[in-house]
Amino acid sequence: MLFILYVNDMCNVSELLKCILFADDTNLFYTGKNIDDMCNIVSHELDKLNVWFMVNKLSLNIKKTNFMIFSKKRVKNDLRIAIDNHNLEKVEVIQFLGVYIDSKLNWNEHIAHIKRKIAISLSVLYRVKRIVINRLCTHYTVLL
């Protein structure tokens, strides 16, 4: 709670970026029509945010910081968004509050993730089935 109070004014650093804070996770959003201009504006705003981090004696883990472009159109691979001259990694899929979102806003990656989790759970149940059946065969069981 104290951390959230401490970083709560981070969203006021930029008038252009929209900010979502959740625990120690921060997401920034910017919308525009020209992709090159967007990248330049976002890099400039991130540099302002980096100054805020330094003033508040916080550090930003640039290795964990990445960006994604949402668009139905084809997006160039050589886009550059940087913080303090460190290029951020462009990703195609990101996890946002437990939901996997891709740059085309479809559900394929999230559905695949849920299928993997279900497969693991079913595998555990299959392995436990024998133990439960053996227990039932050697003990009386009442089902009400």
Return averaged pLDDT per consecutive 10 residues of the chain, 144 residues in all. Answer: 70 90 85 92 94 88 90 84 91 89 90 93 84 71 58
* Res 87: pLDDT: 93
- 117 and 61 inside one domain: no
Residues 143 and 129 placed together within one structural domain of the fold:
yes
pLDDT for the residue 45: 94
34 and 83 within one domain: yes
Instruction: Indicate the pTM of the whole model.
Output: 0.74
Please check whether residues 54 and 91 belong to one and the same domain.
yes
**Same-domain status, 33 and 53:** yes
Domain count of the fold of the chain:
2
Q: Are residues 120 and 52 in the same domain?
A: no
Per the structure, the complete domain to which residue 29 belongs is given by 2-104
Question: Which residues, 6+ apart, have CB-to-CB distance to 21 below 8 Å?
Answer: 4, 7, 8, 10, 11
> What gap in Å lies between CA 59 and CA 95, rounded to an integer?
22
At residue 142's C-alpha, the angle toward residues 139 and 144, to 5°, is 160
Question: Looking at the structure, do residues 54 and 34 belong to the same domain, yes or no?
Answer: yes
Are residues 47 and 95 part of one domain? Answer: yes
Give me the pLDDT at residue 125, please. 85
Distance CA 75, CA 103 (A): 10
15: which residues sit within 8 A by CB, 6+ positions away? Answer: none
Whether 100 and 134 share a structural domain: no
Same domain flag for 116 and 97: no
What pLDDT does 20 receive?
A: 86
- 88 and 140 share a domain? no
Pair 37, 80 in one domain: yes
pLDDT at residue 23 in the model: 76
